[in-house]
């Protein structure tokens, strides 16, 4: 796996060898391995030797990069990694589809080296800041959140059925407690971007309703809707 100068592990998934080489150079990854040219190869590499960040080209010879994002998000080894999608397809709705598939952010080709470098640095910086902050449990509204294990505790009961995104939504609400958080703000916090469309806001609603299902009758009331303002923990 390729390491940059600060020791983070980056996997570049791109079938065009010239473009792949240019990205590896731009990221300062030198001649070290950490490249894949198909989705299948990338998936096998990533679950075996887990990277901090994956850069995924959307047009891969054996399938759609968005599908690779989904597979990485759904695998326990790679559920928490950062994923940046690169694409030449800037058609409307495509960005939302990538984010819904689990990408953290989205860059349109052609990407200039310095821009890619600063983007990747910012993502990795945020990631290491968050992981330091998240190593201890956080308490809000009588609930306890264990970020690493994605477990929420209420009294003696553990709630551990959340997907990584669902847990991120709960965690964002815990951070803003006692203030409510709107759908757009939740999207910005959890998905790391401006909500690209109304579909993204509906994505937040779908996550909220799945979380409530998983909380069950006893804990469901902890996640309240605040009319006109969003959601809050109570
Ligand atoms: Ca391609």
Q: Examine the pLDDT at 209 and tell me if it is beyond 80.
A: yes
Tell whether 101 and 204 lie within a shared domain.
Answer: no
- Tens-place pLDDT, residues 184-204: 989 888 887 767 677 778 889
From 70, 99, 131, the end of a domain falls on 131
Answer yes or no: do 15 and 109 share one domain. yes
High-pLDDT (> 70) share of the chain, %: 88
125 Cβ contact partners less than 8 Å away, ≥ 6 residues apart: none
Q: Which residue has the higher pLDDT, 198 or 177?
A: 177
Taking the centre of ligand 1 as the mean of its atom positions, its distance from the CA of residue 232, in whole angstroms, is 42
- Going from the Cα of 75 to the center of ligand 1, the distance in angstroms, rounded, reads 24
- Give 109 Cα–ligand 1 centroid separation in angstroms: 10
- The pLDDT value given to residue 32: 55
Q: How far is the CA of 62 from the centre of ligand 1 (A)?
A: 10
Q: Are 125 and 93 in contact (CB under 8 A)?
A: no
Give the residue carrying structure tokens 């009758």.
217
Q: What is the pTM of this model?
A: 0.59
Q: Can you give the three-state secondary structure of 209-222, one letter per residue? A: HHHHHHHHHHHHHH
Residue 30: the pLDDT is 60
Structural domain for 63, as ranges: 10-131
Residue 59 CA to ligand 1 centre (angstroms):
4
Q: Which of 6-15, 17-26, 149-158 is most confident?
A: 149-158
How does residue 205 score in pLDDT terms, banded at 50, 70 and 90? very high
CA of 191 to the centre of ligand 1 (A): 24
Say whether pLDDT at 129 is over 80.
no
- Pair (96, 174) in one structural domain: no
Token couple for 194: 């401006």
Per-residue pLDDT at 128 exceeds 80: no
Residue 42 Cα, ligand 1 centroid: separation in angstroms? 13
Average pLDDT, the chain: 85
Domain count, the chain: 2
Residue range 63-94, pLDDT digits in tens: 889 999 999 998 888 888 889 988 776 666 66
Dihedral sign, CA of 116, 121, 124, 130?
negative
Q: How far is the CA of 37 from the centre of ligand 1 (A)?
A: 9
Residues 206 and 143 in one domain: yes
CATH number (domain holding residue 47): 3.40.50.2300
Does residue 4 lie in a domain region? no
Distance (angstroms) between ligand 1 centre and the Cα of 35 equals 13
Last-in-domain residue among 99, 131, 163: 131
Using CA of residue 74, residue 77, residue 81, residue 84, what is the dihedral sign? Answer: negative
Round to whole Å and give the CA distance between 103 and 72.
Answer: 10
H/E element, 145: strand 143-146
On whether residue 2 sits in a domain, the answer given is: no
Q: Ligand 1 centre from 132 Cα, in Å?
A: 35
DSSP 175: H
Pair type for strands 9-13 and 53-57: parallel
Q: Distance between CA atoms of 175 and 164, rounded to whole angstroms? A: 16
Q: Are residues 61 and 127 in the same domain?
A: yes
| pLDDT for 231 beyond 90 | yes
The domain spanning residue 167 has which CATH number? 1.10.10.10
């Amino acid at each position: 796996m390729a390491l940059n100068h600060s020791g983070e592990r980056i996997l570049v998934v791109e079938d065009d060898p010239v473009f792949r080489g240019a990205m590896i150079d731009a990221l300062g990854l030198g001649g070290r391995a950490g490249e894949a040219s198909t989705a299948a190869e990338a998936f096998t590499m990533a679950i075996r030797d887990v990277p901090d960040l994956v850069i995924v080209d959307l047009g891969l010879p054996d399938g759609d990069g968005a599908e690779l994002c989904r597979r990485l998000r759904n695998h326990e080894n790679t559920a928490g990694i950062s994923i940046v999608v690169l694409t030449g397809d800037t058609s409307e709705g495509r960005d939302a589809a990538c984010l819904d598939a689990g990408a953290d952010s989205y860059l349109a080709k052609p990407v200039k080296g310095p821009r890619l470098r600063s983007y990747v640095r910012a993502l990795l910086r945020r990631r290491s800041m968050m992981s330091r902050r998240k190593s201890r449990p956080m308490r809000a509204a009588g609930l306890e959140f264990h970020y690493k294990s994605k477990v929420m505790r209420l009294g003696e009961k553990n709630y551990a059925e959340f997907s990584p995104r669902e847990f991120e939504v709960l965690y964002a609400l815990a951070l803003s407690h006692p203030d409510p958080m709107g759908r757009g703000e939740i999207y910005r916090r959890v998905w790391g971007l401006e909500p690209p469309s109304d579909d993204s806001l509906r994505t937040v609603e779908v996550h909220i309703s799945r979380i409530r299902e998983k909380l069950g009758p006893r804990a469901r009331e902890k996640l309240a809707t605040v009319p006109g303002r969003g959601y809050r923990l109570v």
